[in-house]
Amino acid sequence: MDVLIIINKLANERKVTSILYKELLRENISASIDFLAVDYGDYEMIKNKMGYIYETIDQEGKILYKK
């Protein structure tokens, strides 16, 4: 499973994904999950650019949670 986390004014993408991976380990969850975090503004700028994974995510992805 691939999970994209979009956060407004995200300063450090790697910190967010690192925390999520550590939580999976801490909870002893052994699932094949890839996390990708991106700033909302950056996502909006590049989601329609060909060659970026965000284009496919925008077209085919499912929203699991929206706040």
List the chain domain ranges: 2-60
Q: Is 38 exposed, middle or buried (0-12, 13-18, 19+ CB in 10 A)?
A: buried
Specify whether the backbone of 5 is left (phi greater than 0), alpha (psi in -120 to 50) or beta.
Answer: beta
What pLDDT does residue 30 have? 86
What pLDDT does residue 50 have? 87
What pLDDT does residue 5 have? 95
3-50 per-position pLDDT tens digit: 999 999 999 999 999 999 999 999 998 889 999 999 999 999 999 998
Using CA atoms, how far apart are residues 22 and 14, in angstroms rounded to an integer? Answer: 12
